[in-house]
Amino acid sequence: MRCVLFDFEDSFTYNIVSELQAVGGKVHVVSPDQAKAYLQKLKSDAKDLDLNNTTALVYGPGPGHPDQYAFLYPHIEALFGLPQFVHFGICLGHQIFWRIMGYPVERSRMPLHGQQVPFSIPRWRKVFLPQEMGRQVMVQRYNSLAVKVSGGNYPRSMVVNEEEECIASLFKWGVSYQFHPESVGTTHVKIFFKGMKRYFLHYERKKSDRITL
C-alpha cells in the first residue's frame, strides 16, 4: 500500500506512520510547508501515473481550525475522484474533507482531550469484516471542534453522535475519523488500520466501477 501522509505537526504523526507500516504501507511523510507544492505535483503528474497503482493520501491530525489550511482545499479537492488516489482523514484531516464539501466545523458541544468514548464499528462492508461490524470499542478523542450536521440532512454513510456531530465517515473516495484510531486509548487499533488497507485494496479493484454511496 503506497501512502503519502500529510503531517500537520501533530505529536501522533509517527504513531500513524507506525500503524500504516504495520499493515504493509510504504509511507512518505510530507511536512506542512511542502503540502501545497506536493498536492499540485500529484495533480500535474496524475495523467502519467499508472491507473493500476493507487496511492493512499492520509491527512493527519493537528492543531487549529481546518480553515487555517484553506489554501490547500482546492488542491485536495482536485484529487477527489481521480482513480489514482484514495483518501483517509484523521481528526483534522476528517474536518478538512467535510469543510471542502461544504459542512461547518464549529466548537464541539462536548470538547474532549485524551478521553475514551464508545464507538460502534460501522457496517461498512468495504472496510470492516462481518464479525467486526457492530462491535463496541473505545476510541480516543482529542478535539475541541467538530463537523456539524443537522436535521438528518447528511449522507447515510456518516456516523453521527447525539450532539449532531460527524465522528466517522465513508465517502466516495475514502474514509475519515474524528477520533484517533492510532492512539493507545483506542482499544482495537488494528481494526481501523486493517480497514483502511481493506478499503484501499477494494478501491484498487473497483476503479472502473466508481463507488456510489
d(CA 52, CA 42): 16
> Higher confidence at residue 68 or residue 52?
68
Would you state the CATH architecture of domain 2-205? 3-Layer(aba) Sandwich (3.40)
Task: Please determine, for residue 208, whether its predicted confidence score (pLDDT) is greater than 60.
Answer: no
**pLDDT over threshold 90, residue 132:** yes
**Residue 53 burial (C-beta neighbours within 10 Å; 0-12, 13-18, 19+):** exposed
What is the tens place of the pLDDT at every residue in 88-98?
Answer: 999 999 999 99
Phi, psi of 75 (to 5 degrees): -80, -35
Where are the chain's structural domains?
2-205
Rounded percentage of the chain residues whose pLDDT exceeds 90: 77
pLDDT score for 211: 40
Cα separation, 91 vs 60, in Å, equals: 7
> Model-level pTM?
0.92
Produce one character per residue of 179-206: b if its CB has 16 or more CB atoms within 10 Å, e if not. Answer: bbbbbebbebbebbbbbbbbbbeebbee
pLDDT band at residue 25, thresholds of 50, 70 and 90?
very high
Contacting residues for 13 by C-beta, under 8 A, at least 6 apart: 5, 7, 29, 60, 61
Residue with cell 492543531: 63
**pLDDT in the model for residue 210:** 46
**If you average pLDDT over every residue of the chain, what do you get?**
91
- pLDDT (0 to 100) of residue 209: 52
What is the mean predicted confidence (pLDDT) over 174-189? 96
pLDDT at 47: 77
Beta-sheet pairing, 55-59 with 2-6? parallel
List, in sequence order, every residue forming a beta bridge with 85; answer none if it has no partner. Answer: 55
Map grid coordinates 449522507 to a residue. Answer: 155
Q: Is the pLDDT of residue 131 over 60?
A: yes
Residue 168 is placed in which grid cell?
466517522
Polymer length of the chain: 213
CA angle 146/149/150 to nearest 5° reads 140
| 150 band by pLDDT with thresholds 50, 70 and 90 | confident
